Chains A and B, each alone.
Chain A
Amino acid sequence: MSTVDTSTSPGAGSGVRAGEARRTPGLVPVAETLETTERHARPETPTPPVPSARERWAFWRLLGSELGLTFRRPRNLAMLAVIACVPVIIGVTLRIVGGQGGMGGIIADVAGNSLMLTFFALSFLVLLMMPVAVTVVAGDSVAGEAGAGTLRYLLAAPAGRTRLLLVKYLNAAIYAYAVTAVVALSALLTGLVLFPAGPVTLLSGTTITMAEGLLRILIAVGYVGAGMAALAAIGLALSTFTEVSIGAIAGTIVLVIVCQVLRAIPELDSITPYLLPTWFTNFDAVLRAPVDFGALREGLVAFGAYIALFGSIAWARFSGKDITS
């Protein structure tokens, strides 16, 4: 952690870490690291006096410092800013075009109610832009450290590889939720400024109150965020296989694009339920009356399966990897 901190944000939690880094920097043999992992699994840890409480504290500390790095890194902030701009652009365009009338469907819905812009923006951005932003953070998580030569210092601390991986994943997942929330908030504010507020008309033709509409936006954000977190698991898994973070990032994005192409081919209908991006757009279930919780549940199960599978792949790779950089 110490070197990362000096390169990007001096100070954050480096004191304690530096003190604990008692091994010589260099090759961290796997056997030793495994031992470290096992040590945490067992109750008797090498530091008996204050075991679990201190470890938990260290975990949150590490996560905090990771989050600090992620949300202070200029490129991550730039991505959030760009993504926040898109709903504004969509809203302004619809405001200009929608005034001419003759628009049907979702566009008329958006022009008719301020909350609908949120759903429209989500359904538009969830296809590619949000996955790209999430992938950049997730794909960089391990490979970036390895590429910069800071991974071995992180591992030199007796934090354990499993825990480091967990911190890296939680960091990416939180960024995924941040991306989703930024889209929703930006769209919500744009909508409130540009379009009339009031009761929301659902796709089923039923009208609900604005408070309930906001609640449904919250559900949609929770769902889409979970989908992005599932994608982050793939990014993290690829990230453990390379020392070049752009490789992991590009690999994951290519995967997303390939999935979208496969979904567009009608002959391949039978495989689409197994592709992750298929489930991203299921959040429109909240726009139906009654809310189609079945569809949401199916999607969440798919996300959970992806997280479990790629999380375990990342763990298997990372815990057995020779860290040479």
Chain B
Amino acid sequence: MRRGTFVRWGVPIATAAVIGAAIGAGPVIAAVSGEPVLPERTPQQLLADAAAATGKDGGLPPMSGTVQQTASLGLPALPQTGVESPLSLLSGSHEVKVWYGAHDKLRVAMPTQMNETNLILNGGQAWYYDSSSNTATKLTIKGEAGKQHRLPTPQPTDVTPQQVAERLLANVDQHTAVRVINNAEVAGRPAYQLVVAPKDPGSLVQEIRIALDGENYVPLQVQVYAKGSAEPAFQLGFTQVTFTPPAPENFTFTPPAGTKVEERTLGLDAAGQQAEQRAEHAKDVADQLKVVGDGWTSVAVVPFSPSDLAPAPTPATGSADAHDPFGGGGSDPSALLDSVLKSATPVSGTWGSGKLIKTKLVTALVTDDGRLLVGAVTPEEIIEAAGTK
């Protein structure tokens, strides 16, 4: 080895170190610079602030940014479905771009490789444009224009942390402990961290962390932690956000030449008919639905057999647990169920026998006597619930 050899190889090693440092710089800088300093707020104040920020009357400030959703629910391998399928949101990481001008001006774009799906909402009309099929759908909204149709179930349109946080905060009650932990930095902005945690030990949810912007209390990130895991099982948050009004051309859409244009008039909002059907469906189910327990450990019991899965959303996942921000059933539930049931564990007890499906956040039990039990609870709890007929 020559004297100069070490010096020379020091250059690429230093380069690698610099690159590595740049990649890991975010967390390191955050750790070194410490938590951002913000005025003290009590959990109650923050709850009120958050409610005011997400409330419809106050209105969110205009903003645009990139929202990233990451889910690692520990589901068994999902069947391969289309890229755009809502089922694909249950695993992996996804990114959408959001431009928000006012309560009736919104553009959501989901960029994929050489493709893009856009939903543009402007006043009483909405456009849905899918570049892969080259179709534009015009959705004219009558009546309650722009007003959100309230439903107990999370909707596919719940793409922003605001909407999810709003639903979560609506469910804070006596079963929930609320506290504020150290401030964090989300999307480059200082943020409060509000933690809601179930008091009941039977819940699979460890805690839910909501990051509220330090200036305007807009929720920037929602993280759901499962019991016994340090990484969030579900995370939805801005990776980049600016609170300036987006350019107006984001909210105008003219179907390009050569595009198939379809028109649909909706009685309700953009999520419209589907949402209504869902509500109807949920109501039907609700008649047969029995809830065992309450709060975070409530277990929904519905009559169920794998064969009656023909119509879309699996009723129980939709209506059972409003705490889960990702409940909404998929487009292809039977395929999903098939693959899930294959990996299920058989269990039995005095109540009979069934198959247990366990993920990080949700446990489901399909009993042989035709019931489906779903809840964000431990397997013991759900088996106990199966016993209470």
Measured CB to CB, the residues of A under 8 A from B are: 30-31, 34, 104-106, 108-109, 112, 119-120, 123, 199, 201, 203-207, 266, 269, 274, 281, 284, 287-290, 292, 294, 305, 308-309, 312-313, 315-316, 319-320
Report whether B131 and A204 are in contact in the complex, using a CB–CB cutoff of 8 Å. yes
- What's the nearest-Cβ distance from chain B to residue A98, in Å? 11
Q: Answer whether residue B133 sits at the interface, using C-beta atoms and an 8 A cutoff.
A: yes
The closest CB in chain A to the CB of B16 belongs to A309
- What's the nearest-Cβ distance from chain A to residue B252, in Å? 9
Q: Would you give the 0/1 interface string for B56-88, flagging 1 where the beta carbon is closer than 8 Å to chain A?
A: 000000000010000000000000000000000
- What's the nearest-Cβ distance from chain A to residue B27, in Å? 15
- Please give, as numbers and ranges, the residues of chain A lying within 8 Å of B92 by CB-CB distance: 266, 269
A31 to B97, CA, bound (A): 56
- What's the nearest-Cβ distance from chain B to residue A165, in Å? 12
A316 to B23, CA, bound (A): 23
Set A30, A123, A205, A292: member contacting B114, Cβ < 8 A: A123
Report whether A269 and B93 are in contact in the complex, using a CB–CB cutoff of 8 Å. yes
Set B4, B16, B66, B129: member contacting A34, Cβ < 8 A: B4
Report whether B115 and A105 are in contact in the complex, using a CB–CB cutoff of 8 Å. yes
Q: Answer whether residue B388 sits at the interface, using C-beta atoms and an 8 A cutoff.
A: no
Report whether B254 and A207 are in contact in the complex, using a CB–CB cutoff of 8 Å. yes
Main secondary structure of the interface of B (DSSP, over half): mixed
Q: How many residues on the B side are at the interface (Cβ–Cβ under 8 A)?
A: 43
Report whether B2 and A320 are in contact in the complex, using a CB–CB cutoff of 8 Å. yes
A193 to B92, CA, bound (A): 43
Report whether A309 and B12 are in contact in the complex, using a CB–CB cutoff of 8 Å. yes
Report whether A288 and B111 are in contact in the complex, using a CB–CB cutoff of 8 Å. yes
Do A203 and B131 contact each other (CB < 8 Å), given the known contacts A106-B115, A112-B258, A269-B92? yes
Q: Answer whether residue B150 sits at the interface, using C-beta atoms and an 8 A cutoff.
A: no
Report whether B11 and A316 are in contact in the complex, using a CB–CB cutoff of 8 Å. yes
Query: Among the interface residues A31, A34, A204, A281, which one has the most CB atoms of the partner chain B within 10 A?
Result: A204
A-B contact pairs, 9 of them (CB 8 A): A104-B134, A106-B132, A201-B257, A284-B114, A289-B249, A290-B250, A312-B14, A315-B12, A320-B8
Report whether B8 and A319 are in contact in the complex, using a CB–CB cutoff of 8 Å. yes
Report whether A316 and B9 are in contact in the complex, using a CB–CB cutoff of 8 Å. yes
Q: Answer whether residue B157 sits at the interface, using C-beta atoms and an 8 A cutoff.
A: no
The closest CB in chain B to the CB of A105 belongs to B132
Report whether A106 and B114 are in contact in the complex, using a CB–CB cutoff of 8 Å. yes
Q: Answer whether residue B116 sits at the interface, using C-beta atoms and an 8 A cutoff.
A: yes
- What's the nearest-Cβ distance from chain A to residue B135, in Å? 8
A199 to B19, CA, bound (A): 42
Report whether A205 and B8 are in contact in the complex, using a CB–CB cutoff of 8 Å. no
- What's the nearest-Cβ distance from chain A to residue B260, in Å? 9
Set B5, B15, B113, B247: member contacting A290, Cβ < 8 A: B247
Report whether A205 and B255 are in contact in the complex, using a CB–CB cutoff of 8 Å. yes
Do A284 and B113 contact each other (CB < 8 Å), given the known contacts A205-B256, A207-B257, A308-B19? yes
- Please give, as numbers and ranges, the residues of chain A lying within 8 Å of B353 by CB-CB distance: none
Report whether B12 and A105 are in contact in the complex, using a CB–CB cutoff of 8 Å. no
Set A106, A199, A281, A309: member contacting B15, Cβ < 8 A: A309
Set B118, B134, B249: member contacting A105, Cβ < 8 A: B134
Q: Would you give the 0/1 interface string for B236-254, flagging 1 where the beta carbon is closer than 8 Å to chain A?
A: 0000100000010110011
Report whether B19 and A104 are in contact in the complex, using a CB–CB cutoff of 8 Å. no
- Please give, as numbers and ranges, the residues of chain B lying within 8 Å of A199 by CB-CB distance: 257
Do A316 and B8 contact each other (CB < 8 Å), given the known contacts A201-B257, A308-B15? yes
- Please give, as numbers and ranges, the residues of chain B lying within 8 Å of A294 by CB-CB distance: 66, 240
Set B11, B19, B131, B247: member contacting A205, Cβ < 8 A: B131
Do A320 and B132 contact each other (CB < 8 Å), given the known contacts A204-B109, A309-B15? no
User: Apart from A106-B132, A294-B66, A309-B12, what 16 extra A-B contacts exist at CB < 8 Å?
Assistant: A30-B4, A34-B4, A105-B131, A105-B134, A106-B115, A204-B109, A205-B131, A205-B253, A205-B255, A205-B256, A269-B92, A284-B114, A290-B247, A308-B18, A312-B11, A312-B12
- Please give, as numbers and ranges, the residues of chain A lying within 8 Å of B259 by CB-CB distance: 201, 205
A29 to B4, CA, bound (A): 13
Q: Answer whether residue B136 sits at the interface, using C-beta atoms and an 8 A cutoff.
A: yes
Within residues 1 to 53 of chain B, which ones have a CB less than 8 A from any CB in chain A? Answer: 2, 4-5, 8-9, 11-12, 14-16, 18-19, 22-23
- Please give, as numbers and ranges, the residues of chain A lying within 8 Å of B11 by CB-CB distance: 312, 315-316
Report whether B8 and A201 are in contact in the complex, using a CB–CB cutoff of 8 Å. no
- What's the nearest-Cβ distance from chain A to residue B366, in Å? 27
A8 to B17, CA, bound (A): 42
Report whether B256 and A288 are in contact in the complex, using a CB–CB cutoff of 8 Å. no
- Please give, as numbers and ranges, the residues of chain B lying within 8 Å of A289 by CB-CB distance: 249
Report whether B256 and A207 are in contact in the complex, using a CB–CB cutoff of 8 Å. yes
Report whether A112 and B257 are in contact in the complex, using a CB–CB cutoff of 8 Å. yes
- Please give, as numbers and ranges, the residues of chain A lying within 8 Å of B15 by CB-CB distance: 308-309, 312
A105 to B84, CA, bound (A): 14
A42 to B136, CA, bound (A): 65
A281 to B115, CA, bound (A): 12
- Please give, as numbers and ranges, the residues of chain B lying within 8 Å of A309 by CB-CB distance: 12, 15-16, 19
Closest 6 CB pairs of A and B: A201-B256, A312-B12, A203-B116, A205-B129, A105-B132, A313-B12
The closest CB in chain B to the CB of A308 belongs to B15
